[in-house]
Amino acid sequence: MVQNVQQTSAQIPSIKSFAPSNSYFVVDSIIQIIVDPAFADASSGGSGQGTLSDFAQTFRDDLISVTGFSNISQVQKGDVNVNVSSDSVQSSTVFLTLGSSSNLTLFNGRPTGEGYEFEITEKMYTIRGVEPIGAWWGTRTFLQQAVLSIANGSNPAKIPTGTGEDNPGWEIRGFMLDAGRHWFELPFLTELCIYASFFKINEFHLHASDYIYDPSFLYGQDWRELYTGFRFQPSADSPIFSLVPELNESWTKDQFTTLQTTCSNHGVRIVPEVDTPAHSLVISKWKPELMISGTPDLLNLTYPETLPTIKSIWDEILPWFTSDEVSIGADEYSSSLGDDYITFVNNMSEYISHTGGKSIRIWGTNEPSTTESLSISTNITIQHWWFPGGSIPVQLMNKGYSIINSDQVFLYLDGKFSDGGQFPWTLNTSKLWSDSTPDGQGWAPNIFSATDPTNNTAIDNPLLRGSIMAFWNDWGNNATTPLEVYYQLAQSLAAFGEKTWAGSRGGMGRENALTLEEFDGVYPLLNAAAPGQNLNRALTPANGLEEEVVFSYENISQFPFVTGYESVGPPYTLSFTVKPSSSSASSANSTALFLGLDSVLYLNSLTFKDPSTNVRYPLGVDLPSDVFTSVEVHSTVNYTYASFNGSESDDSELELYYWTSNLDIWGEYMEVVNMSFAAPSYVIGLNGFEGELVNVSLKLGA
């Protein structure tokens, strides 16, 4: 019994300690959730996060998702002062409350509101957070234990009784998404935030302005043609309204507020970034007089109107943000202008603190003072990502700077393709669990170098705030669909959640931190069950799924035909036989064979479209009019291809046609990459489709 209990305790991230007893708490359909009325409206200070009641309501929704029990009672407020061994407790109860504990500290010894204690008896599961956010993380532990119990064959779920405590090792455990070079709609960002929360990630850093780098354009006459993004849409009467290149690729204040609220109710705060004075081509397009002549991505900090203009941008958007920190980027400015840069950064720090009551972060690219008389204020957090001359994290901490570890060797991803294979497709778990230090230990936020131990620090360094992994979109909208970004992030976020919560064994964290084998064993189960979102676009029994067939229609008499399945994620096989009329062929650019939430498949050249970016990906195959053609579309998370007039099982020599995209890599060469699309499964035959579509089926598996 005890051995089984210990096995089912493995989860992501691992918990600090758990002492099992010899029974179980049953998660049945009459379970109730009770919030301590003394703390129901309490919130975690300074973090923009929800109240204990907010977290309890979200927990109830998630519990319904995980268990399938749709009739779980509404959250109640009440005291639970009962003897849990008596008959007075009739149903399983989860009680959320608050209480301090001297044991729940970060590795640097500082107290953390994210810690929680839990006590489990046969009828009572008590979660006692230091702050509401701590209780929230305790509900993630509860849900993961329920998921693993169900996966192991228990129905209803059974959670081992016992006592435990848990808290993160580091304050900041975040991920950055480059939304400046790639447009993302808010529903996707919301789902991504919710997914990350399941693994106790607590920050979502949104890089919200940037441009696509191509030196042949940037330093020539056509620099205005380069793609730029600024994602915060000011009010129509704002003096900075014209800054936004494309209004349909920007978020309104109300939309962004909704995103922040949803994320905060899942324990995640959004840290926005507007990158200046470099990476500022979007501002130079708007006001060319502000740029340095010949380098339009760099702003001229000595020009009188540059600083007031940047401040006016922040004046507009600072009131939007609930986080007590923002990033001003300050990345990769000219080192020959170090004094101007340092003066600018310090000025912006003072201004944002005075105007918005917020502190700032900058990327650590080390633009040293040209006169050696100036330095960045130590009130500013530096986000380390590489080792340019003098920008060594341990030296910066020795000078009093707070550091966030985003070192590119361990923590960088790039959308779909990395030039020269510099970055992996997903975070390298072998590297995270071993070979991250000169003596072969696993990675933790205190590790900046795998080869030089003098560049690393101790886990208890008080100036090491934590870590943020980064996902860049250097190649723009046509490199990835939003779901492809998720495919790269899904396992990465889970692994990163473990490493930033518990660290690694061997002196880099807790000795009960997960092994790689333990992580690999539970990750697929937890990924599939992560509540509150469906980025896998998976089908559940509620969708009427029987075996592997999503739908199958021998004949469809009228178009458009609605299936009821909005989107189906890979792997899948979409089969159909189509005879388009000549009138459909003449309007093939707009005629759609299939439409879904995440993709559209047009008749013309069998073109897929990503509805969020409106980028089209033609296959280059035109189907003949008034003739039946059989088509099979196969998709995995790595590719989508089609075959015609046959089945792969019938003919191993059948020609396959892959949907691809051409990426411009720094203006130096073109790279052809495969595309993955979710099935456009919601509507069949629309936008004037005329002809016949027969033997239409969608099956899981490629």
> Is 191 marked active-site?
no
Q: How many CB atoms lie within 10 A of CB 156?
A: 16
Rounded Cα–Cα distance for residues 645 and 266 (Å)? 48
Task: Write b or e for each residue in 15-29: b if 16 or more Cβ atoms lie within 10 A of its Cβ, otherwise e.
Answer: bbebebeeebbbbee
Kindly tell me the sign of the dihedral angle through the C-alpha atoms of 678, 679, 681, 684: positive
Using alpha carbons only, give the angle 104, 92, 24 rounded to the nearest 5 degrees: 70
Residues 6+ apart with CB under 8 A from 343: 301, 374
Rounded Cα–Cα distance for residues 664 and 471 (Å)? 18
Q: How many CB atoms lie within 10 A of CB 124?
A: 20
Q: How many CB atoms lie within 10 A of CB 208?
A: 24
Rounded Cα–Cα distance for residues 345 and 550 (Å)? 55
Amino acid at 580: P
Rg (CA), the chain: 27
Which member of 119, 332, 648, 690 is catalytic? 332
Residues 697 and 549 sit within 8 Å (Cβ to Cβ): yes
CA 409 vs. chain centroid, Å, equals 19
Amino acid at 339: D
Tokens representing 364 are 């650590």
Residues 92 and 25 sit within 8 Å (Cβ to Cβ): yes
For residue 472, give the nearest of 417, 407, 391, 431 by alpha carbon. Answer: 417
Residues 514 and 13 sit within 8 Å (Cβ to Cβ): yes
Rounded Cα–Cα distance for residues 363 and 207 (Å)? 11
Whose tokens are 């970016």? That residue is 613
What residues does 279 pair with on adjacent strands?
Answer: none
Known catalytic residues?
332
